[in-house]
Each structure stands twice: as structure tokens, then as C-alpha cells.
Structure 1
Amino acid sequence: RLQKALRRSEALVEYQCSRMIQMQASTVLTQLENQEKKKGKGKDQNKRLHGDGMPRLLTSDEFYAVVEQATEQREKDAAAKEARSGQMDKYRKDLAHWKAEEDARAARNEAKTEAWRKAVADYKAGKELAKERNERWNGGKQQVRGPL
């Protein structure tokens, strides 16, 4: 029996070690991917098509194709930026709506809590008054705060 338990615990430790290695590898790969994305993304991208200082024939088919490709890429980037802007506007609007609902919920909960605190204070005051008068207290049970 003890040997079975030992084997089970060794298998569990081996499994946990392999999972830890997998998670670490995943983290390292994610970090490398993010670094590559940061390298590829620069605000000051070179707008010059051939910035090596050498003369070019601006009417050649090769250069014209490069210009067309660069123009298409700029248009794609502008469209993507506009889409992100639209998504951000929607996100801000949704966030404001959520915050308003959250504030209303918090106010409702606070009102319920205050009502409960007042009921408990009234109960305790009545119980103390009965105790001072040496009377029996028949105020029932103390109110329990219900769900918010």
C-alpha cells in the first residue's frame, strides 16, 4: 500500500513539474512574441521608400509597384486605426453605462444596509429600554440583513 501511495505521489510530482515547465515555456514564448511586436511597431516609421541615398528611376515598374504597395499599406493602417478608434469609442460608452449601473446598484445596497442598521439600532434601543425598566422584552428576533 505504501509503495502504491509513493508511486502515486511521484507521478503527481512528475506531472506538476512537466506542467510547470510547459507554463514557463509558454510565458517565455509570449514575452518573445511581445518583444518582436514592439520591435516591428515604431511610431517613427521611415516614410521614404528607398532611403539609402542612391538614385532611382522614379518611372520604372519596380519603383511604381513599391509606391503602390506603400500606399495600400498606409490606407490599411489608416483604416485599422479608424476601426480601433471606433471600438474605443464603443468601449468608453459601454464603460460609462456600466459605471452608472454600478453606482446605482451601490446606492441601492447602501440604502438597504442603512435601513437594516436603523432596524438593528431600534431593536437594541428597545431591548435596553426594557432592561432598564425591568420588563420582559417581546420585540422578537433581531433583524438579519438580507441579500443585497
Structure 2
Amino acid sequence: MATTFISPIKERDARLLSHQPRTEYEVELQQALRRSNGLINQQKEWLMAMQAQNILQDMYTRRLRTQLEYQEEKAAGKKSTRLHVDGHPRLLTNAAFIELVEQSRQKKEEEEAKAARKKDAKTHAQKQLTSALLKWEAECQKIEEDNTKEMEKWETSVEVWKKEQELARTERRKPHWTKPVKPTYTSGVLVKPPTKPKLGDFVSSRRTALTRKRQRANGNEAIEPKEDDSDEDSDEDDEGDGLSGD
């Protein structure tokens, strides 16, 4: 539906209505004009009320649609515990039904094991993060102390240089050394603090280690020991020798 601009209500035909009528016909015309203007103003009020109602309904509909979409997404994310079959009645001893139940049970166990591994990895990573944060704080404190000492050493050397500069100015000569260079991170004199460790660093490393461990375990299981064929070969040789002897 096209949107139409509604002009505000204003007084119309003020000049005609302010005219002093001279005849009864002019009086009737002015009354008809007032009724017409009143009807137009009333229609405008109705239109503005309808437009405001449409705006409120549109706002409510958008909010309701957003809530419904959120509920649908939330419902879709829930795990269903029902078995997906064709809906026909089946015996509990039916082979296909038993296989379906077994598959569902295995899938549930795999999901629970995956969730347990994830929780264990997060717990282990949290412990590693706590230990790493303690080391990081101690290292940052040591670096800050070293940087503070370097800055104090530079400030002391600058004070000595200023005295030398004043003495050289008094004696009308050049200072024996130049102004000390301020230590910076770029020059390598000041050391930047290390990056603060995060939980994601240890979770990813923990998952990688567990994955490699499972791969090694699966690889060892996949390798089957070779059978020793030495006895069979010796038996065949003995049989061959017996035939040749005959």
C-alpha cells in the first residue's frame, strides 16, 4: 500500500467565512462551506488515526515476527530423543527397530562422550590458564621493574649531561659527550611485556593433543601383528624332502 503524506489540519476559506453576508443565500453558502470544511477536517483526523494504527500494528508485527523466529531457532536447536521411523507400529523384537535403537544409543553415547571431553578439556585449560596467568603477571612485573631501572638510569645520565652542558657553556666549550638517547622499545633497551594468555590458546592446544593421542591409538589398533610363517615353511620343506627321498 502506497504511503501518502497527510497535511496538518488548518483553517480554510477564512476570507469567505469572515465576509459579512448580506442575503439569506450568502448565509446558507457560508454554513455549507463550514460544514464542508468540518467534514474534511474530520476525514483528516480519521486518516491520521488509521495511519497511526497501521504504524503501531507494523511495529507490533515486526516484534512478534522476531520473537517467533527466535523461538523457532531455539526449538530447532533442541535435541530430539524420539526415534525417526515411518510411524507404523512395530514389534520391539523387530530387527530393524532394534538396529535403529542401537544406532540411537551409540549416537547418544558419542555425543555424551564428546561433551565430556569438551568439558574436561575446558577444565584442564582453565587450570593451565590460571598457572600461565601467574607466570605472566610475574614476568610482566619483572619486565616493568627492569624498564623502570633503565628509565631511571637514563634520567640520571640526562641530569649529569645537563650539568656538563651548563659547565661547558660557562667555560665556553663544547660538552664532552652528547645527550643520552632515551631508551625505547624500538631500540631494544626497553622490553615489551608478553601477550596475555587466553583460555582459547589452551583449549585449542588441548584438543590438538587429544586428537593426536586418539590418532596414535587408532593407528596402533589398526596395525595387526603378522603371523609367523616359519613353522609352515619348515613343514612344507620337510614334506618336500620326504617326497624327494622316495
Q: 1:50 aligns with which of 81, 84, 94?
A: 84
Question: Which residue number corresponds to residue 92 of structure 1?
Answer: 126
User: Do the aligned partners of 2:158 and 2:179 also contact (CA within 8 Å) in 1?
Assistant: no
Deviation at 1:138, TM superposition (A): 7.0
Structure of larger gyration radius: 2
One-letter code aligned to 2:103: Q
Q: 1:71 aligns with which of 105, 117, 126?
A: 105
Q: Which has the higher contact order (CA 8 A, sep 6+)?
A: 2
- Partner SS state of residue 59, structure 1: coil
One-letter code aligned to 2:118: R
Question: Which residue number corresponds to residue 114 of structure 2?
Answer: 80
Deviation at 1:140, TM superposition (A): 9.8
Question: Which residue number corresponds to residue 29 of structure 1?
Answer: none
Question: Which residue number corresponds to residue 153 of structure 2?
Answer: 119
Question: Which residue number corresponds to residue 107 of structure 1?
Answer: 141
Q: Deviations over 1:29-68 (max 9, x none)?
A: xxxxxxxxxxxxx742332113544333233222122112
Distance (whole Å) between structure 2 residues aligned to residue 121 and residue 89 of structure 1: 47
Deviation at 1:103, TM superposition (A): 2.1
Distance (whole Å) between structure 1 residues aligned to residue 85 and residue 96 of structure 2: 16
Q: Deviations over 1:100-134 (max 9, x none)?
A: 22222222111111111111111111221233343
One-letter code aligned to 2:79: Q
Distance (whole Å) between structure 2 residues aligned to residue 95 and residue 56 of structure 1: 53
Stretches of structure 2 that go unaligned for 5 or more consecutive residues are 1-75, 192-246
TM-score when normalising by structure 1: 0.56
Stretches of structure 1 that go unaligned for 5 or more consecutive residues are 1-41
User: Do the aligned partners of 2:147 and 2:190 also contact (CA within 8 Å) in 1?
Assistant: no
Deviation at 1:137, TM superposition (A): 6.5
Percent identity of the aligned residues?
A: 21
Deviation at 1:147, TM superposition (A): 6.8
Distance (whole Å) between structure 2 residues aligned to residue 89 and residue 108 of structure 1: 29
Change (3 A) 1:65 1:74: same
User: Do the aligned partners of 2:92 and 2:98 also contact (CA within 8 Å) in 1?
Assistant: yes
TM-score when normalising by structure 2: 0.36
